[in-house]
Structure 1
Amino acid sequence: MRTPPNERLTSDIAETGKARKASGPQKACPERRCILTGATESRDALVRLAASPSGLVLPDAQEKAPGRGAWVCSSRSAIEEAQTNGKLKGALARAFKTGDLEIPEELPQKIEDALKRVFLDRLGLEMRVGALILGTQRIAETARAGGISALFHASDASEDGRKKLDQAWRVGRETEGSGERGWTLPLDRDALSVALGRDNVVHLGLANDAAAARVLKPLKRLMHYLGQEIPDESGRANSRAATDTND
């Protein structure tokens, strides 16, 4: 992958400007600058693009390609518009200091597919370590016992099924009447079932806060890219809450 001349090959954790310092003993939050808007945001809120040796621009959702690449904070619709009017090509040319780039017409879809893959891979990892809870009955029982840190529903889950599990989750969290709800995923049951190798995956629960944090990171990035509003940390109002992609 090509590295913009002003970026060192091994400095993928370097910061753009000054990193925002978290309060207390927490580590600084790395920031990146969006090549389209110029806005500086948390690295977790942006998508990384990189160029192959031949100049082919592709998403690097796992952020493993050499160098820091080019970062975008825009939604899919904004990237599609920038690709149509030529702004994306110009921004990438400036980022990589070369006009010898190949930008696939389907780049916006490739980015979406890559972000979904990272999210689903994360779910698969949590399932293998026993942190992912599946099955409506098991989720309901575990939720009432206070054993679920985060609750998720497929995009095509029935409203009745969501409400029942949301209510069980609130009981276990002792937050009845709060309006807290599980997250509605930007994926339907078929996509979840195929990715996890299980039949009819409609609802999912995570057994601890650490697992929830690991899953929410790629989920927020995916939802931001799709232009979906991010719930607040309580899950209140679900997809109608104000967008906030910073952890």
Structure 2
Amino acid sequence: MSSMIRFVVGPDAQIVPDILGKLPGRGIWVSANRAALEKAASKNLFARSAKMPVKVPDDLVAEVEKQVTRRLVELISLARKGGGAVAGYEKVKSWLMNEEAEVLIQASDGSERGKSKLSTPHYGSFIGWLTADELGLAFGRQTVIHGALSSGGLTSRVVEEAQRLKEIREVATAGAVRKEKTAK
């Protein structure tokens, strides 16, 4: 259910996002895209699904985006700690040349000229909608523009979570997670 976001009704009848899917209670599932989340919040669809009156926070979509971003950053950080991720132009370039990288990660606010020098791995994925500050958190630095993930480990979970974040942030297709059959 990586394309869905789970919500539960809290003890105070408030809707709570359950990004990890572990909170107790009956789940209310909504598509992981901004339009669906905004529609569910504005049209009182949570109350209909919960079969009871509920309070929907005004900043629900922003909170979901924040939590999904935090989860993605944590997953990349875990991959880095396990030796499955590197940051920095030269390290990423080396991994791409040696075909160690399965996923290329580039900051959305990085220089287009610098980002164009690296291409998505053969049969790999691309993530390009985290900011340099968010990537910096994942790699234990202030900012990061280029990162890469090796195959295995947490990589598939990172790609799934990145896809959810892309849909919530409504990123243009140029920055989408894409599977490619040939390198650029």
Q: What range is the shorter-chain TM-score in?
A: 0.7 to 0.9
**Maintained 8 Å contact 2:162/2:177:** no
Matched, 1:142 2:89: no
Q: Secondary structure at the match of 1:49?
A: strand
TM-score, structure 2 as length reference:
0.86
One-letter amino acid of the counterpart of residue 127, structure 2: W
Deviation of 1:195 (Å): 4.1
Q: Which has the higher strand share?
A: 2
Distance 1:81 1:214 in 2: 27
Q: Aligned match of 2:162 in 209, 219, 233?
A: 219
Deviation of 1:113 (Å): 0.7
Matched residue, 1:201: 144
**Maintained 8 Å contact 1:181/1:235:** no
Distance 2:3 2:181 in 1: 18
Q: Aligned match of 1:95 in 49, 71, 79?
A: 49
Deviation of 1:126 (Å): 0.6
Distance 1:155 1:198 in 2: 17
Distance 1:214 1:106 in 2: 26
Deviation of 1:78 (Å): 4.1
One-letter amino acid of the counterpart of residue 98, structure 1: M
Matched residue, 2:29: 71
Matched residue, 1:183: 127
- How many residue pairs get aligned? The number is 181
Gaps (5+ residues) in structure 2?
none
Matched, 1:51 2:51: no
Deviation of 1:137 (Å): 0.7
**Maintained 8 Å contact 1:46/1:72:** yes
TM-score, structure 1 as length reference:
0.66
One-letter amino acid of the counterpart of residue 170, structure 2: G
Deviation of 1:45 (Å): 0.5
Gaps (5+ residues) in structure 1?
1-42, 239-247
Q: Secondary structure at the match of 1:141?
A: helix
Matched residue, 1:129: 82
Deviation of 1:200 (Å): 2.6
Q: Which has the larger radius of gyration?
A: 1
Distance 2:2 2:137 in 1: 26
Matched residue, 1:158: 111
One-letter amino acid of the counterpart of residue 76, structure 1: R
Distance 2:166 2:98 in 1: 30
Deviation of 1:181 (Å): 7.6
Distance 1:44 1:191 in 2: 21
User: CA offsets per residue over residues 3-51 of structure 1, 9 Å max, x none?
Assistant: xxxxxxxxxxxxxxxxxxxxxxxxxxxxxxxxxxxxxxxx110111111
Deviation of 1:232 (Å): 3.2
Matched, 1:232 2:175: no
Q: Secondary structure at the match of 1:164?
A: coil
Q: Secondary structure at the match of 2:6?
A: strand
Q: Secondary structure at the match of 2:179?
A: coil
Q: Secondary structure at the match of 1:149?
A: strand
Distance 2:46 2:37 in 1: 12
**Maintained 8 Å contact 1:58/1:110:** no
**Maintained 8 Å contact 1:182/1:235:** no
